[in-house]
Structure 1
């Protein structure tokens, strides 16, 4: 057999994505290139690795065993590379971080200098909602997570980064001759929510419940970007993290509407399981955070002070 490491990496991704299209997008390849490599790998086995039912691709039981073996091989190759760098006196390894969706506006700035300095360190960052972030941490699938609310059921250590403030936001086309009353804002105007499991969704529901607001019409969207576009288009209003609407405020595409009791204020924190044995790369990253976080905040997030109440 003459299958290559590249083919094994590609098939491992197919087994996780269950889609040629998604695999191509993830690996930044064309769909034909993925299909050709899958065929070349399949040609070396007499038992099918995948099957197509209807228009959906499935990985066979045999294929899943090959994918599991491929994962072990790739991990061993990574270990060899990391050891080589270690012997050369360079920090090496892999850091896995799960980030609550609006944290994508924060986390890259706290990573860039560290990653540029340590070329032997690989980064895997998954951006998803709060529920999935905590699930990945509970299963010990990641080194760190970025959250705005500490989990109650997990024993974690944390490093505080910066404030996360949520404001009531409307489109710029809305001309308010006078600020609507609280009742008018929440009972007469459509309110746009994030999906279930989102920390922003939870914060909005806690706020409206606390004030006993009866929402007239609720719209649910599954990403912060989708909410922004909907609010800009005049579809409704929302309570949104300030960190995610910098450019829209600057370009006057969105406006903050003053509401008593807002902003909701939490703190972005990097957390990790108290019981976790951190790798040298992960330990070095924590030290970097503690030393450099204030400098990073001053360099990249000083604009927030303009809006803080």
Structure 2
């Protein structure tokens, strides 16, 4: 047998997600690339690892046995790599972070320089909705989470990073007859899916101003919401951090309205009683000492944004 570590990692991700498409997205590969590597690994065995029933991919019983061995091999190889880096004097190990989907516009900037300083570290960053982020944190599956709303009923430590500003946005070129919150009642409103912090903020705003929305559309990502708004399908309350380029290009406009924008703060959180690894401790030290430099370098436009004048975009 002559399968590679790369093939095993791809097979493990496909086995975990049950989907070649989703595995490709998480691995930042194209779907054909994942399919080719999966087929190359299958060629090493005379017994099928997967089967397709009704257009859905399943791992066979034999495939599950291979999965167990592959996971063990990958784990051993990662440990060997970390030990090699440690002997060479590098900080070694893995940093696991789960972040709310909007935080993908923020978190990488608080990681890139740290990871460049420590080539012996591996990074796993899961981008999902708030509910799944909190679940991963609660189950001790990650070292840190990044959210804009502190989880209830969990004892956590936090570091406040930067503002998260949410504005009402619509397609450019359209004249919206919206002057007060009640005007939203007969307007098509586009929401994120249930469990999203952005959806929660939007629902809280409508509840606070006693708005009974009659036309609602729910979509599963900020990108999908943004494209729907640009197309004129409706309006939405969206995080400013993810629409800067669309405002600059003139695809979106901010609609002034009472009670908006809403400002929260992105928070780096971790369980209070968690035993931090050397890598986790080093990252906390980095964030505490460098967060303002990161904000000044990459987010000065955001910190100085004036929603009334819509400047500094």
Partner of 1:182: 181
Q: 1:291 to 1:234 in 2, by over 3 A?
A: same
Residue 259 of structure 1, CA deviation: 1.4
Aligned length: 304
Partner of 1:113: 113
- Structural mapping, 1:155-194, within 5 Å: 155-175=155-175, 180-184=179-183, 186-194=184-192
Residue 23 of structure 1, CA deviation: 3.9
Q: Deviations over 1:86-119 (max 9, x none)?
A: 1111112111111101001110111111111211
Partner of 1:99: 99
Say whether 1:33 aligns with 2:31: no
Partner of 1:252: 250
C-alpha distance in 1 between matches for 2:63 and 2:144: 31
C-alpha distance in 2 between matches for 1:276 and 1:61: 36
Residue 31 of structure 1, CA deviation: 4.8
TM-score scaled to structure 2, two decimals?
Answer: 0.90
| RMSD across aligned positions (CA) | 2.0
- Structural mapping, 1:119-130, within 5 Å: 119-130=119-130
Partner of 2:305: 306
Structure 2 unpaired stretches of 5+: 309-313
- Does the Cα contact within 8 Å between 1:51 and 1:59 map onto a contact in 2? yes
Partner of 2:70: 70
- Does the Cα contact within 8 Å between 2:190 and 2:234 map onto a contact in 1? yes
- Does the Cα contact within 8 Å between 1:24 and 1:34 map onto a contact in 2? no
Partner of 1:271: 269
C-alpha distance in 2 between matches for 1:31 and 1:297: 36
Q: 1:35 to 1:302 in 2, by over 3 A?
A: closer
Residue 293 of structure 1, CA deviation: 0.3
Residue 267 of structure 1, CA deviation: 0.9
Residue 169 of structure 1, CA deviation: 1.0
Q: Deviations over 1:110-153 (max 9, x none)?
A: 11111112111111111111011111111111111100000012
Q: 1:157 to 1:88 in 2, by over 3 A?
A: same
- Does the Cα contact within 8 Å between 2:9 and 2:74 map onto a contact in 1? yes
Deviates more, 1:242-251 or 1:189-198: 242-251
For 1:292, which of 286, 290, 295 is the aligned residue?
290
C-alpha distance in 2 between matches for 1:110 and 1:227: 26
For 2:223, which of 222, 225, 231 is the aligned residue?
225
C-alpha distance in 2 between matches for 1:87 and 1:40: 37
Q: Deviations over 1:180-210 (max 9, x none)?
A: 33222x1121111100000000111111111
Q: 1:6 to 1:188 in 2, by over 3 A?
A: closer
3-state DSSP class of the match of 2:13?
helix
Partner of 1:60: 60
Residue 294 of structure 1, CA deviation: 0.5
Structure 1 unpaired stretches of 5+: none
TM-score scaled to structure 1, two decimals?
Answer: 0.91
Q: 1:157 to 1:308 in 2, by over 3 A?
A: farther
Residue 154 of structure 1, CA deviation: 1.4
Residue 40 of structure 1, CA deviation: 2.4
3-state DSSP class of the match of 2:213?
coil
C-alpha distance in 2 between matches for 1:306 and 1:24: 36
